[in-house]
């Protein structure tokens, strides 16, 4: 796979490889495979969350940092694009300015938080990030003259990204290639490039140091690695990529508000996606995002139909009501954590390694084996 060529770290499981290839193909051709607005919206949201969740996995899974401020950087990206487009007009120069400002603000804020807070113990750092994220959410909700307040901001995007724009005169496989399709492919290729960049980072010497810090920060510091500096750099990289994900969502929705980027519910979803997919794998971000977003978008309708079909069975309509989908999602999450404590990716890799008849190999052992 492309990821193995770039990073040297493949999925290491045939089932996982097949699943990732299927997801890649479906997302790459989603505009031509599905009709209607909802499937394309779901595919675009999956793309955005793959990048957002992967950037959070860099913190949680590879560095061992528990942060509740990740959606703050996601929101900075969204509001950076939204404010620039709404104030300066729907031009590419305005969008570029918004992206640059959002990335700089997110990176600097992450650096400040990291340098001043990463010296404390993990639980206290988590509380600090929660406080900062809450303060940012309150500011975004209260500064209505600047951020639109609770109502958020509506804005226009550059003309070539609008539904009225036609890239090609003739439809392709029955689909008109308009500005909406162009926007989707911008999302897709930026997310693909960002994900491969993260894979390269975590499989570089820098990524190895981050994992050493995660396993034993005192030993890493004794070996001469400045733990706070490494953690701060990881926080900055993660925040910048989260801000890019926020920009992509802003481009797709053409609306940015507290509920779409800064909500604590989004932070919980990101955390669940990392845990379900598998922490410290990055590939888990893909699996977790796909499963969670599909469940959130289609489970209510599925349970609504099941409830209607079971109308004659006592208590069945109550249990299978569309309003109960969150309950079933919670049960599925508990079961997944119980049966897949290392996440779906970790479980698939372990099963394949056991089938091959050996203990899971470390990265250095895999490298030696490949040399032979």
Report pLDDT digits (tens) over 271-329. Answer: 999 999 989 889 999 999 999 999 888 888 887 777 777 777 776 777 777 777 778 77
pLDDT at 362 over 50: no
121 — pLDDT class (breaks 50, 70, 90)? low
251 — pLDDT class (breaks 50, 70, 90)? very high
Task: Retrieve residue 127's tokens.
Answer: 């509380």
pLDDT of residue 7: 57
pLDDT of residue 287: 94
pLDDT of residue 120: 66
pLDDT of residue 123: 76
pLDDT at 191 over 70: yes
Distance of CA 67 to the CA centre of its chain: 14
Higher pLDDT, 58 or 4: 58
Spatial distance between the Cα atoms of 144 and 159, rounded to a whole number of angstroms = 27
Spatial distance between the Cα atoms of 335 and 331, rounded to a whole number of angstroms = 6
The number of C-alpha atoms within 13 Å of 217 and in the hemisphere containing its C-beta is: 16
Average pLDDT over residues 106-121: 82
- Which of 28-32, 130-134, 248-252, 326-330 has the least mean pLDDT? 326-330
Tens digit of pLDDT for each residue in 129-142?
888 999 999 999 88
Using CA atoms of 101, 104, 105, 110 in order, give the dihedral in degrees to the nearest 10: 160
Task: Retrieve residue 122's tokens.
Answer: 């993990």
Spatial distance between the Cα atoms of 119 and 48, rounded to a whole number of angstroms = 31
pLDDT at 3 over 70: no
Break the chain down into helix, strand, coil percent, rounded to 5.
75, 0, 20
236 — pLDDT class (breaks 50, 70, 90)? very high
Q: Which residues contact 248 (CB under 8 A, 6 or more apart)?
A: 47, 48, 51, 77, 186, 187, 190, 191
Spatial distance between the Cα atoms of 107 and 112, rounded to a whole number of angstroms = 9
pLDDT at 363 over 50: no
Q: How large a percentage of the chain has pLDDT more than 90?
A: 47
Secondary structure of 35-58 in the HEC alphabet? Answer: CCHHHHHHHHHHHHHHHHHHHHHH
Contact 45, 74 (CB under 8 A): no
pLDDT at 117 over 80: no
pLDDT at 118 over 80: no
pLDDT at 176 over 90: no
Contact 29, 169 (CB under 8 A): no
- What's the N-to-C CA distance of the chain in angstroms? 21
pLDDT of residue 365: 41
pLDDT of residue 331: 83
pLDDT of residue 267: 92
pLDDT at 370 over 60: no
pLDDT of residue 242: 96
Q: Please report the domains of the chain, with CATH numbers, ordered by start residue.
A: 2-371 (1.10.3470)
């Amino acid at each position: 796979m492309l990821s193995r060529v770039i990073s040297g770290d493949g999925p290491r499981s045939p089932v996982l490889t097949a699943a990732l290839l299927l997801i890649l193909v479906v997302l790459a051709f989603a505009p031509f495979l599905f009709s209607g607005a909802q499937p394309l919206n779901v595919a675009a949201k999956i793309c955005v969350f793959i990048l957002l969740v992967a950037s959070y996995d860099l913190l949680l899974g590879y560095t061992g940092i528990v942060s509740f401020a990740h959606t703050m950087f996601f929101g900075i990206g969204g509001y950076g694009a939204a404010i620039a487009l709404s104030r300066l007009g729907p031009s590419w120069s305005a969008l570029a300015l918004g992206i640059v400002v959002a990335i700089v603000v997110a990176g600097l804020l992450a650096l400040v938080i990291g340098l001043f807070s990463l010296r404390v113990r993990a639980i206290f750092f988590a509380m600090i990030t929660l406080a900062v994220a809450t303060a940012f959410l309150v500011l975004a909700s209260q500064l209505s003259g600047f951020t639109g307040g609770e109502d958020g901001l509506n804005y226009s995007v550059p003309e070539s990204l609008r539904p009225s724009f036609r890239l090609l005169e003739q439809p392709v496989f029955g689909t008109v290639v308009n500005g909406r399709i162009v926007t989707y492919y911008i999302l897709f290729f930026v997310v693909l490039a960002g994900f491969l960049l993260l894979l390269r980072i975590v499989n570089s010497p820098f990524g190895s140091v981050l994992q050493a810090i995660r396993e034993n920060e005192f030993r890493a510091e004794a070996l001469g690695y400045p733990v706070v500096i490494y953690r701060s750099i990881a926080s900055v990289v993660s925040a910048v990529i989260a801000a890019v994900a926020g920009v992509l969502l802003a481009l797709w929705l053409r609306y940015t508000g507290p509920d779409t980027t800064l909500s604590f519910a989004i932070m919980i979803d990101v955390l669940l996606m990392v845990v379900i997919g598998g922490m410290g794998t990055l590939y888990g971000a893909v699996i977790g995002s796909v499963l969670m977003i599909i469940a959130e978008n289609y489970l209510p309708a599925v349970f609504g139909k099941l409830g209607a079909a079971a109308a004659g069975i006592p208590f069945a309509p109550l249990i299978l009501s569309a309003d109960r989908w969150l309950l079933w999602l919670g049960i599925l999450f508990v079961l997944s954590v119980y049966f897949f404590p290392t996440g779906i990716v970790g479980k698939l890799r372990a099963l394949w390694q056991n089938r091959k008849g050996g203990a899971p190999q470390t990265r250095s052992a895999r490298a030696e084996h490949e040399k032979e």
